[in-house]
Every structure is written in structure tokens, then in C-alpha cells.
Amino acid sequence: MLFGAGPGGYKILSKLGSGSGGSVYKAQKKGRIVALKIPKILDPTDLRRLEREATALYNVSNPNVAKIEEADLEGPTPFIATEFIEGQNLAGDVKENGVYEGKYLALLADKLAFALRDIHAANIIHRDIKPENVIIADWGPVLVDFGIAMNPEETHLTRTGLVMGTPGYIAPELLEGGREGAESDWWSLCAVLAFAALGRSPFAGGGVGSILDREERGEADLSPLPPSLAQPFSKALDPDPSRRLPVKDLIGAIWQNV
């Protein structure tokens, strides 16, 4: 899309990112700056996914979740406009400023858990919690991109044979055909917090297959964290949901290391 006139009366200012599902632009209308998501609509499934994303955003009100400004799901170019969050994503922030330690890691954990509790209270499973979907704003982390979010009662809108998510951050039970739920989002959040503390995924190394294999076996590399952090992280990232350390206990352990 050329910069200039965009759908919904928005003026496209710059491209923020793109992927197989579409593109996100920095855009403006009536002095208001937004993140304008213009998806690729190839079939009815894509439109239903966009509708689901809009519903998810309308149903959540939390300072650590990007707010929806407006959506047009019926026009010639469907879009969702959300508040534009100034700041880097967590991956870029860690690369530029280093890992999170002490109270900074604890506050990051507190605020992301606060956001995720409200998301789940709205009966929405995010399904793609990863460092790139956490923007570090002036007031703290903001969870963005509900493009593959779903109500836990809804039918999966994935194409045949496709597991949606990001290697290193997709809960291991989903790799074995398990059903998405709050537990899978919480596992992903723990993996993101481990990234913030380590500067890398705890399952990083090798190709995608190797990462997924380590997830399924629970072989997280948590060095050089001290045992007082490595042990609770390891338990929180257990591939068996029934054995996982509750996230509140992981956050408690992080605060004890402040």
C-alpha cells in the first residue's frame, strides 16, 4: 500500500511491520495516531479471524492491553485501528538495553500477568504471546496483536495441519494436539519472562524442530540464572500442565530475588 490515503479515512504515515497475515501501518485521522492493521483476506476464515480480534479488543479494558479505536469489517478494505503505542517491543528493548533483572523483571511480570488475567476474564485466549507482541511503553508493557486470539469455546480457525503460534513460545501441549486454554497462554507468558531474564528463548538453538523438541521434553536452558530463579522457571515451563508451577508462585519467586 502506498503512503497517503488509506481505508476508513486514515492517512498512512509509515509501515510498522508485515507478515503472512497482512500489514500494520502507523496512520492518522483527525489528529489521532493509530496502528492500522490491514489483513490479507483470502477466504471467509481470514475475515472471521479479524472479527474475532476486534471482539477481543472491545471486550478488554486494561492499561497493559492495546485499546481498539475502531474497526471496519464490511468495507472493501477491512481494517482494525488500535491505539499507537510509542516504544520498542520487548525483543528490541532487551537487545538494546540488556536483560531484565531484579525489580524490573518483577514489575514486568506483574503487569503482564495483570493484562493476561483481564484478557482471560473476557473469555479470550491470546494464543500468540511472545516478545514481539509486548510493547514497552512509558507506563509499562502493553500486550498487542490479537490476530489469532480466540474464545475457548470457538472452533479453531487454522488451516489443515497448521498449529498457530511461535516456536519457543507456543505451549508444548498444543504441539501434541491439545486444546488452547488459559494454561497455554500462561506457559507462553512464562517463556516470555524467561526471555526477558535471559536475553533469548529458554529453548533457543538449532532449527524450529529442535526448539519444539526441547519444549516438548521440558529441556529449558536457564543458565546463567541463579538456582532461586532457574528452578521456579523450570517448573513453570514444565510440558505437563498438571505439574506446572502456578504463575503467581513464579512471580513470587522473582520478587524474592529483588
Place of cell 490479537: 146
Cβ(115)–Cβ(126) below 8 Å: no
Q: Which among 27, 33, 22 is positioned nearest to 12, based on CA atoms?
A: 27
List 118, 128, 145, 185, catalytic entry: 128
Q: Are strands 68-72 and 32-39 parallel, antiparallel or unpaired?
A: unpaired
Q: How far is CA 76 from CA 3, 7, 40, 99, 194, in A?
A: 18, 8, 12, 44, 42
- Whether 145 is catalytic is no
User: Can you tell me the distance from the alpha carbon of 130 to that of 151, in angstroms, rounded to the nearest whole number?
Assistant: 19
Active site residues: 128
